Each structure stands twice: as C-alpha cells, then as structure tokens.
Amino acid sequence: MPLSFQQRDDLKQRFFPNADSQSVGVVRAALERHLQVGDVVLDAGSSGGTWVLRRYANDMRLVVGADVAIPDTMATGEREAEPVVTDLATLPFDASSYDLILCYNVIEHLVDPDAVFAEFARVLKPHGILIFKAPAFWSPVILFSYILPFSVHRLFKSLLGVGADDVFPTYYRCNTTTKLHRALSAAGLQQELLITVDQTYGYFYFSRITYALGLLYSRLTNLPGLRWLHNAIIGVYVKPV
C-alpha cells in the first residue's frame, strides 16, 4: 500500500524539509509570477488537468487539457480542465490562443519534441509563457529507468498505485538542459529560467524506509559537486513580441 500524502509530508518534514520548495515550489513560483487573472491556459499532456494548477483555478478563465486520450476512469467531476484529444505536435488551436502553457512531466514521452515546441510557440500569445518540468536524462535513476523494459515500468508504477492506462512509453529525446534550450530557442522562445532539481524520492513512496532513503538521497544531491545527479529539469520560456 503506497504511503498517503500525509505520511509522505511527515517524512519530508523530518528528512528533507525543503523538498517541496526546491522542486514543485519552483513551478508554483513561476505560475504565481506569470499567471494573470483571466488567463487562458493550455495544460499540455494532461487531459484532466495537472494537479499543480488546482490552487489557481479561480484565476484562470479557461484551462484546456490536451492529451492523446482521456482515461476511461476519469469522471467528469474529477477533471481540472476541458479535455481535448490531440497530438501535441498538431494542436487544433488558432495561433496566439493561450497566455500560458504548462507541460508537466510530458517531454520525456514526446516522439518529436521539435514539432511540439513549434506548436507551443505558435499557439502562445506574444509574451506568452511556457512552464515545464521534465526528467533529466543523465541522472542515474532516469538512466536506469531508460534501460528497463516498458513492462517493468508498469509493474513499478503499480506499486505506487498508478494504473496501467496511465503509464506511457518514454523516449527522452529532449531531456537535457542543452537539448531543451537548443530546441526551444529554435522554436522562437526565450529563456527566463532553466535549472535542475531532484525528486528521486518521488519514485519510492511504496514504504516509509524507501521514501526516507529517497529523501536523504535527494537532499544529498544539492551538495556542491553532486548536482549532476539531479533527476529533473524545470524551465520557463517566453514568446517574444
């Protein structure tokens, strides 16, 4: 039985009190810096809406969740966004339709990241913002994940309470800071923020011991000389006028 949110939070307070502020807190800070009341937001790769956006529901005029499918298990009342089934590389939206795009743990699943980033740039309004979080390919935990068969991914995620329909193939074709910056710049977007963080503990909440060890590992990676172990990349890019 995976640990509850409260159990995980208790362990964070004990072993890595700054865990959230140094990971999802960075994404939230970017949202709070750029999200304006009445904005139209594209939640790219999440048909039901990413949980990170939940606290900003009253500020956004419309949230559209674009994904390749809508899970059968998702009831209408559970959705945080208006779902649209689409390939992110061919978005069915007019140019300059969105004030902000959130792409949270999706880039690793993209077959053609360049095409997707070009679409993001097309549908963003001038001064529109792209905020993303993605796995960092060269971190040990992601490299290990990369070499494992897809069936093992599903088995591992099942231990965390994730259903098989919510586990998608990973390609990691644009999951380094260098590749991301090059591709996003080629799409016409300008960098505001591009950093690495570590959330290795997020893969190990199937027991108190493994989660505590994961927290200690992630805390250790913030020491000088060990940041190359970080397993995630967070970026904020702007569409210029």
What is the chain's alpha carbon radius of gyration, rounded to the nearest angstrom? 18
Structure tokens at 115: 């095409």
3-state DSSP assignment of residue 187: coil
Segment 18-27, tens digit of pLDDT: 999 999 999 9
Going by their DSSP bridges, the two strands 124-135 and 98-104 should be labelled as: parallel
Place of tokens 């997020």: 202
Place of tokens 């586990």: 167
Confidence of residue 48 (pLDDT cuts 50, 70, 90): confident
For residue 226, what are the contacts with CB-CB under 8 A and spacing of at least 6?
220
First CA to last CA distance, the chain: 50
Nearest to 137 by CA among 169, 167, 178: 178
- State which CATH number among 1.10.540.10, 3.40.50.150, 3.40.30.10, 1.10.3210.10 fits the domain covering 5-238: 3.40.50.150
Segment 164-221, tens digit of pLDDT: 566 678 999 999 999 999 999 999 999 999 999 999 999 899 899 999 999 999 999 9
41 Ramachandran zone, left/alpha/beta (phi>0; psi -120 to 50)? beta
45 near 33, Cβ under 8 Å?
no
Q: Side chain identity at 142, as an amino acid letter?
A: I
- Work out the burial of residue 57: count CB atoms within 10 Å of its CB; fewer than 13 is exposed, 13-18 middle, 19 or more buried: exposed
What per-residue confidence (pLDDT) applies to 163? Answer: 64
Listed by start position, the domains of the chain span 5-238
pLDDT at position 72 over 80: no
Give backbone dihedrals phi and psi of 125, rounded to 5 degrees, phi first: -75, 160
Confidence of residue 137 (pLDDT cuts 50, 70, 90): very high
User: Which of 99-113, 136-150, 227-241 comes out lowest in average pLDDT?
Assistant: 136-150
The 3 state secondary structure assigned to 166-215 is HCCCCCCCCCCHHHHHHHHHHCCCEEEEEEEECCHHHHCCCCHHHHHHHH
Which DSSP state fits 111?
Answer: S
pTM: predicted TM-score of the whole model, two decimal places: 0.91
CA distances from residue 224 to 39, 187, 217, 227 in whole angstroms, order as listed: 39, 33, 14, 7
Structure tokens at 51: 């949980």
Number of H helices, E strands in the chain: 7, 7
